[in-house]
A and B are shown apart, each in its own frame.
Chain A
């Protein structure tokens, strides 16, 4: 009941004119960003950060906007998956399997409708999970001291290394690279400059907006250059975007189960929407596909991944909001934006910032309703966006990324950092090294170091403090499990659900032509 009253208060926050406008902007941009191959939510959010700072948006509105982009992109990504056989972001790869088959058989309309409905069910159901799980986890995490936080961050690093990308060792390398970049700047403990080479702009460390746009957007431009072929023809004739009652009931339990799967997977660090969608797809294939129709244009094959990838977004918000330790690249960028506004998410965050937390929750309900309207009757309008030629689209994205980075400090130096990281991001992608752990380590690196040194200071340098409580010991066991499992099974344990899930990390937009 307490949660219910708090939620009502949240609606009061979310229903202000300003917040309503920004949730709409968020879900609209999210749908577009999700739909366009090559731009994912992480780019969209990073690009908008300087703009929200310039507009002086309050943190609640900012988070409502960013969350809108995040879950909105999980609606939009299926549009190109179904119509073009090109997933808008990696988490709709599973949707192409049946979605594109349906489109080929002239059933693009029902496929789009089912994807929107499944997204809505996954999105709204998972918010309930967020409402109940987040306060409970926060209650538990109050007991976390610096030592516990240190081990928790180590656990986040090992899990994301194991779960993104195909090879564990490459995930570890990516984490290492991110940690190296994170140490540049003034030492958080004593304030001495480290690895700055006397360059004044480096004293503040590598700016996360430059880093994100470099590693994701600029690297994507380089990668797109390599691919000359563009996906199939856009099917603009989609027919009526509606499913029959029979199809809906057929898919009903599929959606409920997939939403649960997606939500739980989303809470894990590193797992995210891509793995959630494949896991849901393969589970449903095993459970309900008696006739072997999955992959042949079965509507349930669209419902499962779409419910799951939307549900995973709510799950991913939990560690961000209750622990302050995000588990994915996109949530890491959101954390960095909150930290820049001097807000520290953690166990007390919900109590200290009830307007922010409950306003965000309420806005997610509102946003999902808006998305259902945008993606059912208005889907025909969005399809036109897919007709923009690539020679206009890619330079536009590059220029907007440039403006965003430049506007942070009006600094050409930042632009060069961004470009250099763009080259790094391109090389990493070519080498099959996932990029998401780099950005996560860049954001969490200073936090890891601060907590480690604080824990040791409090214990007068006694390293035993790191295993000094039951929570730390349990966390170390989890770290050990996340290191040993991928080595023993030689496979990404969750992504092995489908070969296509391997080597893709959540935020890496997949290539245009596969």
Chain B
């Protein structure tokens, strides 16, 4: 069943992809094939292999129970929020929060999770930003004071 649903979704993706490919503006001077045709072939290829899967679905998938699903969504929300909080809160605070949230999902105890997150965030900041010279945001909140 999961295979069938996935193949239908992929067929839809392929169809939209081909439609969008036909809408690509082409340059005046172009090679014989142009910018449109390779994507169109790729779309046909994706639809073709998805149809083959639809006709003969291969395996059943054991989807996680509702409780696990909830934790998955929570973790996903954590990933997204981490990205958006990185600039306003700065790396250290955002990372402490994200780390603690992930750690809780994996069975860490709350206080330990926050503590480990804070230690890890500071260590990572020192390693990546100071030692390896990668840019990490200090955070709009803190820049006033620094």
Q: Interface on A for B, CB 8 Å cutoff?
A: 50-51, 54-55, 166-167, 169-170, 172-173, 176-177, 179-180, 183, 187, 189-192, 194-195, 218, 221-222, 224-226, 228, 389-392, 394-396, 398-400, 402-403, 406-407, 410, 412, 415-416, 419, 422-423, 426-427, 430-433, 449, 452-454, 456-457, 460-461
Are A395 and B38 interface neighbours, CB within 8 A? no
How far is A172 from B84 in the complex, measured between Cα atoms in Å? 35
Chosen A-B contacts, 27 in total, with CB atoms closer than 8 Å, are A169-B58, A170-B53, A172-B45, A176-B46, A180-B13, A187-B24, A187-B35, A189-B31, A190-B26, A190-B27, A192-B27, A194-B35, A195-B39, A225-B71, A225-B75, A226-B72, A228-B107, A392-B103, A395-B99, A398-B79, A399-B120, A412-B86, A415-B86, A416-B83, A430-B61, A432-B58, A456-B31
Contacts of B68 in A (CB 8 A): 225-226
Closest to A194 in B: B24
Q: How far is the CA of A226 from the CA of B72 in the complex (A)?
A: 8
Interface of A is mostly: helix
- Which listed residue (A406, A432, A454) contacts B61, Cβ 8 A? A432
Q: Which B residues are CB-close (under 8 A) to A452? A: 33, 38
Instruction: Report how far A166 CA is from B124 CA in the complex, Å.
Output: 39
CB-defined contacts of B120 to chain A, threshold 8 Å: 392, 395-396, 399
Question: B140 in the interface, Cβ–Cβ < 8 Å?
Answer: no
Q: B113: shortest Cβ distance to chain A, in Å? A: 7
Contact, CB under 8 Å: B108 / A392:
yes
Interface size class, chain B: 35 or more
Q: How far is the CA of A454 from the CA of B31 in the complex (A)?
A: 8
| Contact of A395 with B106 in the complex, beta carbons under 8 Å | yes
- At the interface, yes or no: B20 with Cβ under 8 Å from chain A? yes
B80 touches A398 (CB 8 A): no
Bound state CA distance, A392 and B123, in angstroms?
Answer: 14
Contact indicator B63/A51 (Cβ below 8 Å) = no
- Check if B26 sits within 8 Å of A173, measured CB to CB: no
A352 → chain B, closest Cβ, in Å? 28
Cβ-closest chain A residue relative to B31: A457
Residue of A nearest to B5 (CB): A431
A172 contact set on B, CB distance < 8 A? 45, 49, 52
Bound state CA distance, A126 and B57, in angstroms? 40
Q: Which of B8-39 contact A (CB under 8 A)?
A: 10, 13-14, 17, 20-21, 24-27, 29-35, 38-39
Contacting A400 at CB < 8 Å: which of B32, B39, B52, B124? Answer: B124
Q: How far is the CB of B120 from chain A (nearest CB, A)?
A: 6
Residue B138 lies at the interface, judged by CB distance under 8 Å to chain A? no
The list of the 3 closest CB pairs from A to B, nearest first, reads A461-B32, A391-B108, A176-B46
- Interface contact B128-A403, CB-CB below 8 Å: yes
* Residue on B nearest A503 in the bound complex, by CB: B59
